[in-house]
Amino acid sequence: MATIINEKNNWLSIKYPKLKASIDITYRPLKNNIRELLTEAEKLVFKHTAKADRIIPQDFINKEKRVFGSIYEITGNAASQIHFMLQIVQIIL
């Protein structure tokens, strides 16, 4: 059974007490701030460098659906084993 907790600043936590695990999600709108958001996301990933054996980046591209992102696999004794970010491009006519 999961518990969903709405946190401040567009954060959402999905907690799985029996598994001693959680999924933390954030949503940030794009407002000419893509560089800031990418830097922030990368900082979250590289906080794990002290305990990680490796951080393996991989780009995600779905041109047809206009979804782009990055996924980072984190190996070793890090608190988080995967981070990802997605950007969905919408064209408003």
pLDDT of residue 18: 93
The reply to whether 41 and 23 lie within a common domain is no
Query: What's the number of domains the chain is made of?
Result: 2
User: H-type helices in the chain, by residue range?
Assistant: 34-46
pLDDT of residue 93: 44
Neighbouring-strand partners of residue 69? 60, 86
The reply to whether 43 and 69 lie within a common domain is yes
Are the C-beta atoms of 80 and 74 separated by less than 8 Å? yes
What is the H or E stretch that residue 61 is in? strand 52-62
Which structural domain range is residue 3 located in?
Answer: 1-28
Sign of the C-alpha dihedral, residues 28, 33, 34, 38? Answer: negative
How many angstroms from the chain centroid is the CA of residue 92? Answer: 26
Does this model's pTM top 0.85? My answer is no
The reply to whether 40 and 10 lie within a common domain is no
pLDDT of residue 92: 52
The reply to whether 40 and 54 lie within a common domain is yes
The reply to whether 35 and 24 lie within a common domain is no
Q: Along the chain (93 residues), what's the average pLDDT of each consecutive run of 10 residues?
A: 86 90 83 83 81 89 87 86 75 51
pLDDT of residue 69: 86
The reply to whether 91 and 78 lie within a common domain is yes
Neighbouring-strand partners of residue 52? 76
pLDDT of residue 8: 83
The reply to whether 23 and 59 lie within a common domain is no
Burial class (CB in 10 A: 0-12, 13-18, 19+), 83: buried
The reply to whether 23 and 40 lie within a common domain is no
